[in-house]
Amino acid sequence: MRPLARLGLALAFFPAAALAGKAAPPKCLLKLEKLNLQDEVPGLTLGNTHEVYEGEGKLLRGHEPGKDAKELVDIGVTDVVIFKHPVKREVEQEIKDLKALGIPEERITSIDMPWKDIEDIKDPCQKTVQAVNAMLAVAATPGRVGYFHCSAGQDRTGMLAGLLRMVTAGWSAEKAFVSEMCAHGYGFGDTTRPANVSKAVETNLTPIFLQLASQIEGQGLSVASKLSPGLCSAKPKTELDGSRFKCK
């Protein structure tokens, strides 16, 4: 075969970009873990309940309690953060039930947090900071047990749990996203639900997580820390590659 013919054959198999050394490397996605929506907290049957922190105080996450709020009191829960937008009157009823069961009103924090149709992340980001700080105060107090939830205990709850892991245990953003969020049903981590729901979650909530995670990562924070609402508008100290933070 003549030299020019051999060159033409080589070009057919190797694109020009590759020959020029400009081929883009394959995108490296996060290595996901097996989905776990089981109850792991003894005495709770609410769904997707897990311990997030244990030290002076203790933090638990899970599904909204509904008619089973007594389970929370029975295992010693002293503080509750309701991190969801009311659909009907379920939040009002939960607060009423918790108070009747002996949890003081000042230890019940209700934060109207959306999971979709978020046009500007600043307000929901500041609400997330409020929820994180409420749980950190519980974690730093001996004998206190905090329980936080949204509706299914997967998305808003997962984001909150991931951030708490970063603050209290020094987890990286990637570990928090994979092991605390995706593994317990955040976004596309739950393959059993409609894709449009999971897409809405990752489109609306993940930017909030990344904004705060980029400010928290590597800062040496602890349960004694308190996040500033200003983190929601500050330029991230370290840019996290949002394209990698996918639960699929």
Q: Is the pLDDT of residue 54 over 90?
A: yes
Q: What is the pLDDT of residue 29?
A: 55
151 in the Ramachandran plot: left (φ > 0), alpha (ψ -120 to 50) or beta?
Answer: alpha
Q: What is the pLDDT of residue 4?
A: 42
Q: Are strands 79-83 and 108-111 parallel, antiparallel or unpaired?
A: parallel
- CATH code for the part of the protein at 36-244: 3.90.190.10
3-state secondary structure of 60: strand
Going by the DSSP 8-state scheme, the letter that residue 147 receives in this structure is: E
Q: What is the pLDDT of residue 248?
A: 83
What's the average model confidence in pLDDT over 113-142?
97
Question: Which candidate, 247, 217, 213, 248, places its Cα nearest to that of 232?
Answer: 213
Please answer whether residues 64 and 90 qualify as being in contact, where contact means their C-beta atoms are separated by less than 8 angstroms. Answer: yes
Alpha helices in 122-155 (DSSP H): 122-139
3-state secondary structure of 128: helix
Q: Is the pLDDT of residue 25 over 60?
A: no
Radius of gyration of the chain (CA): 22
Return the structure tokens found at 58: 């203790």
How does residue 222 score in pLDDT terms, banded at 50, 70 and 90?
Answer: very high
- Report the alpha-carbon distance of residue 163 to residue 80 in Å, rounded: 17
What's the average model confidence in pLDDT over 90-94?
97
What's the average model confidence in pLDDT over 124-136?
98
Among 18-22, 97-101, 122-126, the minimum mean pLDDT is found in 18-22
Q: Is the pLDDT of residue 9 over 50?
A: no
Q: What is the pLDDT of residue 23?
A: 42
Return the structure tokens found at 219: 């800062």
Question: Cα 23 from chain centroid?
Answer: 34
In the chain, pLDDT over 90 holds for what percent of residues? 81
How does residue 18 score in pLDDT terms, banded at 50, 70 and 90?
Answer: very low
In the chain, pLDDT over 70 holds for what percent of residues? 88
How does residue 186 score in pLDDT terms, banded at 50, 70 and 90?
Answer: very high
Q: What is the pLDDT of residue 30?
A: 64
Give the phi and the psi of residue 80 in degrees, each rounded to 5.
-135, 135
pTM for the model stands at 0.87
How does residue 7 score in pLDDT terms, banded at 50, 70 and 90?
Answer: very low
CA distances to 82, 84, 128 from 65, in Å: 10, 13, 20
| DSSP state string for 87-131 | SSSHHHHHHHHHHHTT--GGGEEEE---SS--S-SHHHHHHHHHH
Average pLDDT over the chain reads 89
- Report the alpha-carbon distance of residue 32 to residue 169 in Å, rounded: 20
Q: Is the pLDDT of residue 88 over 50?
A: yes
**Better-scored residue on pLDDT, 6 or 113:** 113
